[in-house]
Amino acid sequence: MARGLNTNNAAITAECFTDDAKYSSPPEPLVRKGRAALFEFFGGGKGRQQPTSLLWHRVVFDPAAQIGMAEFTLTYQGRTHGVAVVRIAGGKIANWREYAVQSRLGWEEMVGENNF
pLDDT, residue 65, reads: 98
Q: 89 falls in which pLDDT band (50, 70, 90)?
A: very high
Q: 88 falls in which pLDDT band (50, 70, 90)?
A: very high
Q: What digits encode the pLDDT tens for the residues 28-60?
A: 999 999 999 999 999 999 999 888 999 999 999
pLDDT, residue 114, reads: 94
Q: Are 105 and 90 in contact (CB under 8 A)?
A: no
Ranges of each domain in the chain: 2-106
Q: Which residues contact 102 (CB under 8 A, 6 or more apart)?
A: 78, 79, 80
Question: Under CATH, what is the fold of the domain 2-106?
Answer: Nuclear Transport Factor 2; Chain: A, (3.10.450)
